[in-house]
Amino acid sequence: MVADPSAASFRKEIEDLRRQNKKYVYTFGNGRAEGNASMKNLLGGKGSNLAEMNLVGIPVPAGFTITTEVCAQYNAIGHEITQELIKAQVNEAVQFVEQVMGKKYGDPNDPLLLSVRSGARVSMPGMMDTVLNLGLNDEIAESVAKKPGQDRFIWDSYRRLVQMYGNVVMGLKPENKEEEDPFEIEIQKLKKEKGVELDTELTAADLREMVSRFKDLVKRRSGQSFPTDPWEQLWGSAFAVFESWNNERAQVYRNINGIPNDWGTAVNVQAMVFGNLNDNCATGVAFTRNAATGEDLFNGEFLVNAQGEDVVAGTRTPQEISKEGSQRWAKLARVSEEERKEKYPSLEELMPDIYQELLEYETKLENHYKDMQDLEFTVQEGKLWMLQTRSGKRTGTAMVKIAMDMLKEGMIDEKTAVMRVDPIRLDDLLHPVFDDKALEDIEVISRGLPASPGAATGQIVFFADEAMELAENGKEVILVRIETSPEDLKGMNVAKGILTARGGMTSHAAVVARGMGKCCISGAGSIHID
């Protein structure tokens, strides 16, 4: 029998790399962390900040970060060798998370579920991929569903996993610009059959049926079955995140923002906490100051019985965190105070203790980082968990005001204040506005939320490539979408303004538009795009 030379070469390459004795995986949890905020180049922005939050006493679900160096290795040597190289360290890290969270990955009785997220050294909101609820399969879902009050939650989590994994790892995306997301088509079909309008109105049995339909869709479109092995799910998702560093939208974002292609991304694996367990749970996004105006006002949005992607995706228009913000929103949306309190209460009113705790953390984090922070959080059964902090994207106007205010407050010195203001963004201060007299004579055809300030006129377009084509021919355009996705980035970049039917002030459209200095109106619910 002749030895396989490729196998011998494979083993030698692994041994050579292992002899370097490098640390590729850094854990965090329970107030301990192997990394810190100074390690952005190695752990990425998200990973280094998750570690830092642990060190300063913020409650963060346990997890670990696979370094940016592994991304470079993956691009150079491929999937198989990379997995062999880091497998032992990943196994140890999962055991650490199991110990901290008191659950076991893949256990049918009390499973630990995991999330996998990207994390470049600078924020690239929505440009790379995320998979939530890893570790579920039919056996585990059936087991958890038998527990009191867990059936709807577990089938909802499972259908989200199949949808995200199918999209991110198995490539089930729209095949052309006119086609909707294939999973969304199935969701709309099922809701129509069941006679409901919202996802939240679907029962546990409906969601179980949705899981079955989603798995059939995966098999039909990809020719492969959805993987039932939790470890296969974890590895598939981690390598898909590395792959997403080189996807088209990430490359476009890097080109627009001058980010080098060779930096790579880290992968953050974290224990899941659940905002979709029941109506005592929630998830949200918050800013320590107003990202559009720079006003020193804590603000943000949340959804009850939801997962974090629901807030930023813009598929549901969320509620405001503070009572003051909620009242401002109601005024813009022409909603009475009575209706607001009954249907759209703020987090401050709905969960006052959680709101006070969130206030404490946002103050602590802004003081610690000495900059305006963009926060993500989840509330599970009365327990607040912080999932992310990062320096928030802001308009040019907000950039100047926040820098000057923090200088006056003694939080930063003059040199830091000057360095905080990007000269290129000063043009934002001169963004167009409507003439007050002209506004007296206009007819309002729709209203939405002022996600990013300014004024814009132009031809309405519905697709990113149409926006680019017209802009190249000298036409001014406004990109109109039900909600934007990262695939719309090229169109958003050339548009004079952006209008969305759904989504709030923290949606993808709002965050990216503010970072670009583009006028954006989100959540204009009266417009219908067929």
Question: Which tens digits make up the pLDDT trace of 417-471?
Answer: 999 998 877 777 777 778 777 777 788 888 888 888 888 999 999 999 999 999 9
Span 260-281, pLDDT tens digits:
888 999 999 999 999 988 889 9
Q: Residue 4 pLDDT more than 90?
A: no
What pLDDT, on a 0 to 100 scale, did the predictor assign at position 369? 97
451 token code pair: 């996600």
Span 29-41, pLDDT tens digits:
999 999 999 999 9
Q: What is the mean pLDDT of residues 148-172?
A: 94
159 token code pair: 């259908």
What pLDDT, on a 0 to 100 scale, did the predictor assign at position 2? 39
Q: What is the mean pLDDT of residues 340-367?
A: 97
| Cβ neighbours for 351, distance < 8 A, ≥ 6 positions apart | 282, 379
Residue 110 CA to chain centroid, in angstroms?
Answer: 26
Residue type, 437: K
Containing 254, the helix (H) or strand (E) segment is helix 248-257
- Alpha helices in 319-413, H assignment, sequence order: 323-332, 337-343, 347-350, 352-369, 396-408
φ, ψ at 85 (rounded to 5°) = -65, -40
- Measuring CA to CA, which residue among 400, 393, 374, 511 is closest to residue 449? 511
- Measuring CA to CA, which residue among 449, 307, 312 is closest to residue 374? 312
Span 466-508, pLDDT tens digits:
999 999 999 999 999 988 877 888 899 999 999 998 888 888 7
What pLDDT, on a 0 to 100 scale, did the predictor assign at position 431? 74
What pLDDT, on a 0 to 100 scale, did the predictor assign at position 256? 84
What pLDDT, on a 0 to 100 scale, did the predictor assign at position 289? 97
Place of tokens 């320590």: 288
Distance CA 515, CA 153 (A): 35
Containing 277, the helix (H) or strand (E) segment is none
φ, ψ at 330 (rounded to 5°) = -60, -35
Residue type, 103: K
Distance CA 373, CA 396 (A): 16
What pLDDT, on a 0 to 100 scale, did the predictor assign at position 314? 61
φ, ψ at 269 (rounded to 5°) = -110, 125
Distance CA 385, CA 30 (A): 12
What pLDDT, on a 0 to 100 scale, did the predictor assign at position 1? 36
What pLDDT, on a 0 to 100 scale, did the predictor assign at position 503? 82
Q: Are 225 and 179 in contact (CB under 8 A)?
A: no
Mean pLDDT of the chain: 90
Residue type, 59: P
Q: Residue 223 pLDDT more than 80?
A: yes
Distance CA 8, CA 292 (A): 58
Place of tokens 């570790």: 135
Eight-state DSSP code of residue 268 = E
- Measuring CA to CA, which residue among 106, 47, 66, 85 is closest to residue 232? 106
- Alpha helices in 181-247, H assignment, sequence order: 182-194, 204-222, 230-244
Domains and CATH numbers, the chain: 23-271 (3.30.1490.20), 282-394 (3.30.470.20), 433-522 (3.50.30.10)
What pLDDT, on a 0 to 100 scale, did the predictor assign at position 18? 64
What pLDDT, on a 0 to 100 scale, did the predictor assign at position 3? 41
Q: Are 388 and 268 in contact (CB under 8 A)?
A: no
What pLDDT, on a 0 to 100 scale, did the predictor assign at position 485? 79
What pLDDT, on a 0 to 100 scale, did the predictor assign at position 253? 85
Torsion of CA 243, 246, 247, 249, to 10 degrees: 140
Q: Are 181 and 313 in contact (CB under 8 A)?
A: no
Burial class (CB in 10 A: 0-12, 13-18, 19+), 399: buried
Q: Residue 285 pLDDT more than 70?
A: yes
> Between the CA of residue 5 and those of 9, 19, 138, 151, what are the distances in Å?
6, 21, 41, 52
The lowest-confidence range among 258-262, 283-287, 352-356, 465-469 is: 258-262
Distance CA 128, CA 116 (A): 11
How does residue 6 score in pLDDT terms, banded at 50, 70 and 90?
Answer: low
Distance CA 429, CA 421 (A): 12
Q: Which residue has the higher pLDDT, 286 or 318?
A: 286
Distance CA 482, CA 240 (A): 27
Burial class (CB in 10 A: 0-12, 13-18, 19+), 107: middle
Name the β-bridge partners of 478: 460, 497
Eight-state DSSP code of residue 199 = G
Q: Residue 121 pLDDT more than 80?
A: yes
Q: What is the mean pLDDT of residues 129-143?
A: 96
| Cβ neighbours for 283, distance < 8 A, ≥ 6 positions apart | 275, 276, 302, 303, 306, 307, 308, 310, 311, 376, 377, 378, 379
- Measuring CA to CA, which residue among 104, 18, 50, 37 is closest to residue 269? 50
